[in-house]
A and B are shown apart, each in its own frame.
Chain A
Amino acid sequence: MSEPRRLLAALTVLLLYLGFCALVMLRARRRHRRSVAPEDAAPALLVAHASQTGFAEELAWRSAELLRTAALPVRVEALGALSSDSLAVAGRALFVVSTTGEGDAPDSAARFLRRVMAGTPDLSRLGFGILALGDRSYARYCAFGRSLDAWLRQCGATPLFDRVEVDDGEEGALRHWQHHLGRLAGTTELPDWEAPHFDAWRLVERRLLNPGSQGGPAFHLALEPIAGAPRWCAGDIAEIGPRNAAEAVAGFLHRLGLGSAEGFEDRLLPQEPEAIAALAGLPPAELRRRLPPLPHREYSIASLPEDGRLELLVRQVRRPDGRLGLGSGWLTAHAPLGGAIALRVRTNRSFHPPEPGRPLILIGNGTGLAGLRAHLRARRAAGQRRNWLLFGERSRGCDFFHRTEIEACCAEGSLQRLDLAFSRDQAERIHVQHRLREAAEELRRWVDEGAAIYVCGSLEGMAGDVQAALADILGTAALKALTDSGRYRRDVY
């Protein structure tokens, strides 16, 4: 068999190379989640509901049930039964509330509105989360959930995560709420209420972005739809249906003394010896029936439909016991190249692009670059050049994801300012919030010009510190005004 002859670089080649580099285009990524340790023994977590026709109440109970399966003490109350004092000492509270009438609170919340929300009690020791039910076809969408949110903040309470709004019972948003419940409960294995209806996509590219990094490996993944031409928008989320590695299934069945059997790749396999022992002797079909399906995972989409592929930036997570994370392990290690990936795009309106004409400030760290990258692409495609990116990672040498592409954006003028914070490249730890403070003057100028601020990345640390920096630079009232007018948006996890 003849080997192809390879012609080594001729004189022309260096010149050509310059033209070659001009052929910049795309690439992608996205994010993942981490489990969070449960907080110290605290009073039972409060789940309060305000419902007109019963949906909010039902969801409150389902949330409580889910948290209890993770052994978290929970109590459920009607919002109308709460007082300022009970809220002040509740520790952590989840509010599941609907909006009715013309943007009104449900009737059952009338007493709470009159007696409690009329004042400004000190709730500085309360951490809260809100699930706001509504319907976009009404002018004042989720109005009660939003005003409850604003009031709680005003009383000094701390959001545990951003308000989740549900348009007409949309399941994707409800799964996103469950994602937050899982974090509160300190587990990532809570079963989905309603399994997403996934489509089949094909994994066409997988690449490690940060060889040699002190942080976890981060991968660029590209997927193509197997059928159709799905649409999505910058800011949207990919819900993934993870699968078990073939070896994990084989190992599990082996421990039960079973040979190979089908149908376990999408089941949650217990790890503890007692849990496995309890399943001994069951025939495979019954065994499968007893195991819950694997829960979904969410990742920010890092590309646009026009790119022809859905790209993600996924950090490979390793659990304390050494196993890879359910979703990230599947995507970054176990799924075979060319193989099918179960995926559904979830519309995430609260992180859609700002209206054209506004300058855009993109702030994020780590895999948060995924969502920001989709926005940057959308802006370039729309000819919107007034963009500013603040990105933080560990080291410039290893963790400057998509560096070539970002630098090309700077060179062509679609990225007018770039601030990088590499925390481990110098003795003191520098993060995006520090860069933000250094650029306070310019930040105010951009905001005066009407800029929107989009934050994507880790909820712990980054999101809170960035928010504090923004509040210091712009003033709390101005930041609140930006929030209310949709000019300050977050996709943090």
Chain B
Amino acid sequence: MPRILIPTLQAAPGRPAGDRVQALDGATMGTRWSVRWVGSARPEVLRARIQARLDIVVAQMSGWEPGSDLSRFNRAPAGSWQRLPAEFLAVLDCALAIAAETGGAFDPSIGRLVDLWGFGPRPAPTPGPPGAELLAPARAGGGWQRLRLDVPGGRALQPGGLGLDLSGIAKGYAVDLVAEALATAGVAAFLVEIGGELRGQGMKPDGTPWWVALETPPGEQPMEAAGGEEYVVALHGLSVATSGDYRRFFQHGGRRYGHTLDPRTGWPVEESLASVTVLHPNCMRADALATALSVLGTEAGLHHARRHGIAARFLTREAGRLREHVSPAFAAMLD
């Protein structure tokens, strides 16, 4: 039997708002999105609303779009204040807050390093791990403390050569925006997913919430978990985000390098951590925290999760097998 996770301190779900589940999906940000909802809201109407929200995120925060606000910011001359749209500011503000909370384990100014390792919009300049002569300037160009945000003024300071990368957080924000688009269209029960990050609300016609299974990395040995089972989460008023090196990595010289970089060293994080899953009401936070906790690693990550009441589950590879560690807030949701 799977083990069950139920959110604490959430609003009670409303009763089912209809008798059928409808679905939509599409492509965005280099991945897929999908939405399921209960009720009679018309798919064409919802698709337009959803697409409008996704378009906002891509137009503002994509490093793949030369015309995005993010690309404009990254190209801007040193010392120039750049006006940013409100959504971009909201994400950057949250990113900086998490950077501060995690001592820079999550860092939105990591763009040049990401490019150097070939995980970003531009191809890597070298086939293997970049040399110190490349890493040093890329690291110097980053550093979240160099960013200045003027939220009331709606602008941010480009200190010079700083490359923003919001890939570790913008997807989560897009999930929140789509959830808001559905909620403000009067949809009371829905499940939103973009590239593996999910957010759910309300319940299905049969009176059950959206049950979502937590992923176990594919191709791994069975886990030695506390009981060795799978988890399913009741996603009511809750988001789940996972950061794992099995999704994107490269292999070089017999080693496997995950796409999560440690901004403090400029290197991908240790491969012993297979994945980190975070549960939080807000998907943007869950997304960024999952990345931050993987950078911190199991020990420091668990410590951080405990101190900040974050519901997190770490899967580590120990002696060829998967082992699991959960934070107290995660354990509190069990059964």
Contact = CB atoms under 8 A, between A and B. Distances in A.
B212 interface: yes
Which interface class (under 10, 10 to 19, 20 to 34, 35 or more) fits B? Answer: 35 or more
Interface string B11-51: 11111000000000000000110000000010000000000
Contacts of B177: 337
A404 B87 contact: no
B226 interface: no
B87 A6 contact: no
B6 A6 contact: no
B221 interface: no
12 contacts: A1-B195, A3-B196, A4-B198, A7-B211, A211-B185, A211-B186, A336-B87, A337-B87, A338-B91, A339-B87, A339-B89, A404-B12
B232 interface: yes
B247 A2 contact: yes
Contacts of A23: 6-10, 12
Contacts of B161: none
Interface in B97-123: none
Contact of A405 (B11, B91, B204, B236): B11
A210 B17 CA distance: 12
A338 B94 contact: yes
B173 interface: yes
Contacts of B94: 338
A340 B209 CA distance: 32
A206 to B, nearest CB: 6
A21 B211 contact: no
B31 A1 contact: yes
A379 B56 CA distance: 42
Contacts of A202: 90
Contacts of A204: 282
Interface of B: 1-2, 4, 6-15, 31-32, 41, 83, 85-87, 89-91, 93-94, 151-152, 154, 173, 176-177, 180, 183-188, 193, 195-196, 198, 203-204, 206-215, 218, 230, 232, 234, 236, 242, 246-247, 282, 284
Nearest to A408: B12
B6 A340 contact: no
A278 interface: no
Nearest to B152: A200
A212 to B, nearest CB: 7
A200 B150 CA distance: 12
A337 B210 CA distance: 23
Interface string A202-235: 1011111011100000010000001000000000
Contacts of B152: 200, 340
Give me the 4 closest cross-chain CB pairs, A-B, nearest first: A211-B186, A338-B90, A24-B12, A207-B183
A1 B196 contact: yes
A9 interface: yes
Given A7-B232, A338-B87, A339-B86, A14 B207 contact: yes
Contacts of A7: 2, 211-213, 230, 232
B249 to A, nearest CB: 12
Nearest to B244: A2
A212 B187 CA distance: 11
A206 B180 contact: yes
Contacts of B208: 9, 13-14, 17
A25 B232 contact: no
Nearest to A332: B184
A10 interface: yes
Contacts of B11: 24-27, 404-405
B236 A20 contact: yes
A115 interface: no
A335 B87 CA distance: 9
Nearest to A262: B83
A180 to B, nearest CB: 30
Given A1-B195, A337-B90, A338-B173, A8 B211 contact: yes
Contacts of A24: 11-12
A226 B12 CA distance: 26
A382 interface: no
Given A211-B186, A340-B151, 4 more contacts: A9-B206, A206-B183, A207-B184, A219-B184
A233 to B, nearest CB: 22
Contacts of A27: 11
Contacts of B211: 6-9, 13
A408 to B, nearest CB: 6
A305 to B, nearest CB: 16
A447 to B, nearest CB: 33
B2 to A, nearest CB: 6
A320 interface: no
A404 B13 contact: yes
Interface string A36-77: 000000000000000000000000000000000000000000
